């Protein structure tokens, strides 16, 4: 059975499954899901916990032995298995053997990073899903993030208007750990009840955390406000402008190459694959290639050369302002003039 993180609490109130697999790349949701499972198990008498960290040199034999053993006093156990990658061949075989006949006195809790579609078809994972529960946690955006913030505040007896929730979402930029901390702060400051937009503005810090590819993605999507916000965030975090320039210029060169391929009659999907543009980048590149004139993209590449000279002190000017010029040249082509 597959559950979303917000469905887990209700399922745990009804019954405990013999196995839980937690996967994803959103640490707060994964951590809270694991805490909820362990707490529900303790409430039902699972007082022992055996912890296994799967790292280089890990003995899967030790895990198999633990699964086959019986505690001296018959105590119920949680087998807490934590992996930093999908299991190797030996690990997958050990898990499959366990799942074919789960221990009657134990609950298996497996935590691991995000799984691909192929990973989800592995025999051990299909067996785990058939015997128990699979929970996948993803970063939240848009309406899902707004709904999560609303639920989080409601748990503390707090209410906010949609405008306030959107304001909070913009401030934390999907960083759920930061969002949870900010909601706790709001609760300490104002207590239960309605929280006005002005109170959120006054109390909540800008907790967004960016990497250099965020600005390139916002630029290609044509999101001018977010592009400038990410640039300011990177500058404030002390990221070297040359590193940002590298990411922006790389994406621009790839976009120019894509436009050349399309001009030669190449199909979009074939051109994207040829240029090794995959996953979420595909849609952004395809849209940007249609939205932007080829000369506009080439002009932006040439502007990158100017910024490079600014960074190296060979030309006067602020590199961060130069980066803003480059990004706006692409994000807002109809309003930005050279």
Per-domain boundaries in the chain: 2-137, 142-203, 212-331
- State the architecture of 212-331 in CATH terms: Up-down Bundle (1.20)
Q: Is 228 exposed, middle or buried, given 0-12, 13-18 or 19+ CB atoms closer than 10 A?
A: middle
d(CA 133, CA 115): 15
Residue showing tokens 């309003």: 335
Handedness of CA 210, 85, 145, 151 (dihedral sign): negative
Handedness of CA 62, 68, 69, 70 (dihedral sign): positive
Given this model, what pLDDT does residue 338 score? Answer: 41
- Tens place of pLDDT per residue across the chain (338 aa): 999 999 999 999 999 999 999 999 888 999 999 999 999 999 999 989 999 998 888 889 999 988 888 766 768 999 999 998 899 999 999 999 999 889 889 999 999 998 888 899 999 999 999 999 999 998 888 899 999 999 999 999 999 999 889 888 887 877 898 899 899 999 998 999 999 988 888 887 666 677 778 888 889 988 898 899 899 888 888 888 888 898 899 899 999 999 998 999 989 888 888 888 877 788 889 889 988 898 999 999 999 999 999 988 898 999 999 999 999 998 886 554 44
Contacts of 188 (CB under 8 A, 6+ apart): none
41-56 pLDDT, tens digit per residue, is: 999 999 899 999 988 8
d(CA 286, CA 290): 7
Q: Residue 273: how many CB atoms within 10 A of its CB?
A: 12
Given the candidates 1.20.1050.10, 1.10.8.60, 1.20.120.530, 1.20.1530.20, the CATH classification of the domain at 142-203 is 1.10.8.60
Half-sphere exposure of 253 (CA within 13 A, CB side): 9
- CATH superfamily, with its number, for domain 2-137: P-loop containing nucleotide triphosphate hydrolases (3.40.50.300)
Chain length of the chain: 338
């Amino acid at each position: 059975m597959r559950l979303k993180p917000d469905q887990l609490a209700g399922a745990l109130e009804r019954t405990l499954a013999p196995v839980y697999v937690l996967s994803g790349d959103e640490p707060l949701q994964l951590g809270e899901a694991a805490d909820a499972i362990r707490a529900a198990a303790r409430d039902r008498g699972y007082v022992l916990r055996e912890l296994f960290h799967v790292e280089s040199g890990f003995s899967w034999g030790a895990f198999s032995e633990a699964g086959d053993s019986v505690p001296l006093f018959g105590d119920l156990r949680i087998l807490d298995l934590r992996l930093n990658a999908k299991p190797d061949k030996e690990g997958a075989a050990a898990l499959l053997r366990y799942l074919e006949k789960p221990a009657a006195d134990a609950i298996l809790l497996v935590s691991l990073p995000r799984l691909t579609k192929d990973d989800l078809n592995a025999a051990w994972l299909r067996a785990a899903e058939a015997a128990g529960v699979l929970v996948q946690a993803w970063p939240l955006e848009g309406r899902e993030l707004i709904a999560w913030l609303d639920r989080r505040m409601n748990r503390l007896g707090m209410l906010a208007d949609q405008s306030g929730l959107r304001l909070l979402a913009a401030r934390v930029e999907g960083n759920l750990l930061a969002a949870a901390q900010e909601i706790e702060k709001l609760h300490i400051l104002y207590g239960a009840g309605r929280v006005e937009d002005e109170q959120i503005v006054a109390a909540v810090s800008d907790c967004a955390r960016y990497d250099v590819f965020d600005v390139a993605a916002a630029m290609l999507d044509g999101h001018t406000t977010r592009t400038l916000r990410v640039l300011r965030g990177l500058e404030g975090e002390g990221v070297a402008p040359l590193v940002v320039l590298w990411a922006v210029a790389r994406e621009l060169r790839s976009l120019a190459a894509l436009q050349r391929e399309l001009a030669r009659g190449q199909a979009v999907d074939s051109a994207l694959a040829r240029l090794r543009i995959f996953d979420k980048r595909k849609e952004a590149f395809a849209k940007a290639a249609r939205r932007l004139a080829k000369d506009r993209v080439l002009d932006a590449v040439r502007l990158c050369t100017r910024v490079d000279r600014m960074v190296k002190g060979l030309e006067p000017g602020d590199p961060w302002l130069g980066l803003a010029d480059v990004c706006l040249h692409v994000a807002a082509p109809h309003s930005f003039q050279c």
